[in-house]
Amino acid sequence: MPPLTAAQIAAIYTSLHNDIITHSNKWHDSAQIGNGGYGVVAAFVRLDANDNILERVAIKDTVLSPAEFAAEHAWAGHPAPPGGPSLLREVGAMRALEDTDCDNLMKLLGHRVLPGRYLYRLEMEYCPHGDLYHGPFRHYRNAREHLPEPAVWAVLYGLVEACVVLEQGHGDEPVDGWQPIVHRDFKLDNVFLGDFLDPVTDPDVPFPTYPTPKLGDFGFALQLDDADAAIRDPTVSGTDGYASPEQMQGQNRWLLTTKTNVFGIGIIALALMTRNQGDAPMNLATWQKRGVYFPVSTKAYSAELRDIVKRCLFKTASKRPSVLELRTLLEQYCCGPDDKTSGLCHVFPSQRARIQAGELGLRGLPADAYAIGAHFI
């Protein structure tokens, strides 16, 4: 299916808006906040009598061709019973993660499938600070400045927490019967920026000076069967400049495993460190020649950070750390005597505003366009 035209995007948004406003007493108005190759995302708001925002949600409509709609019914594992009807891939993945209570995964609030229109609709939490690409990455790239190192550690930390849940269904203990999830589309646009966590209500929240990174967009996700912890997929998945070698079409050497997620974590960190999205080779032939390129500019960051990112990006997955090993590495450098985060993993509430306003604060965050209490225009 070719990319959507501007007219198609406008038509999908209009249909989404009219459907929700007509059939829901809860949402009063909407605004388009994003679009991709297959659909549109809009913010819907609930208003008081003075048009002040009381509540907001992000709703995404994805429209497929008949063939794609049939092919996307590929989710057969948790939470669907063995032998039960398959689900659309993105719906199944987000349903599986619905009750994991992980701050670093985009939360699904509801979904609807419209087979007659080859469309599915996801109701998700609204992320007030957009995504990594359209915010901080573009700001620092245009300013030709390096992101503060603690901010890179914060993104690493959040994505590792998300991927631990993809691996075992829970942040602490493996869930019985869980089928690990391989995301297959790590990119800056798919890491969304939620609210700042509050160290007043929970002193143990990590990196409260930065918005919470949340992994989203599970349209390429697949599950690994308990009996087969690695698979080969003959189709292309992921995005040029981000995809691992095992995601490349035509290769028969490398298997997809949850270490494909580890590569995704590393490539996001490298993109932030280099202010460049194209450091992963874009085709299999280039991968076979040289692998990932680490430019000199990364030397602005600590040797420990560079070493961890390099380990995530080994061409051969067996050489990469597991996500649990990666979590242990991060714990070593995010606190204690070997801390490389300038002490920002855990911050006293009284220090937060000062740090956010200083040189270690994260720049380029868009204003919350639909803040609670704001007047909806």
Q: What angle do CA 150, 151, 157 make, to 5 degrees?
A: 85
- Axis-axis angle for helices 323-333, 259-274 (nearest 10): 40
| Alpha-carbon gap, residue 107 to 301, rounded angstroms | 32
The reply to whether the predicted model has a pTM over 0.85 is yes
- Per-residue tens of pLDDT for the chain, all 377 residues: 567 889 999 999 999 999 999 998 899 999 999 988 788 999 999 999 999 999 999 999 999 999 999 989 888 876 565 567 788 999 999 999 998 989 999 999 999 999 999 999 999 999 999 999 999 999 999 999 999 999 999 999 999 999 999 999 999 999 988 889 999 999 999 999 999 988 888 888 999 999 999 999 999 999 887 666 667 666 678 899 999 999 987 777 788 899 999 999 999 999 999 999 989 998 888 888 888 989 999 999 999 999 999 999 999 999 999 999 999 999 999 988 999 999 999 888 888 889 988 999 999 999 898 999 999 98
Closest alpha carbon to 271 in 330, 340, 188: 188
| Arch. (CATH architecture) of 6-124 | 2-Layer Sandwich (3.30)
Q: Strands 73-75 and 108-114: what pairing? A: unpaired
The pair of structure tokens assigned to 41 is 């995302």
Residues 36, 63: contact at Cβ < 8 Å? no
Residues 354, 330: contact at Cβ < 8 Å? no
Domain 6-124 and domain 133-357 have a common topology: no
Residues 346, 335: contact at Cβ < 8 Å? yes
| Arch. (CATH architecture) of 133-357 | Orthogonal Bundle (1.10)
Per-domain residue ranges for the chain?
Answer: 6-124, 133-357
CA atoms within a 13 Å half-sphere pointing along the CA-CB vector of 194: 23
| Alpha-carbon gap, residue 284 to 3, rounded angstroms | 24
Backbone angles phi, psi at 242, to 5 degrees: -125, -25
| Alpha-carbon gap, residue 96 to 106, rounded angstroms | 12
Q: Coil, strand, or helix at residue 365?
A: coil
Q: Is there a binding annotation on residue 60?
A: yes
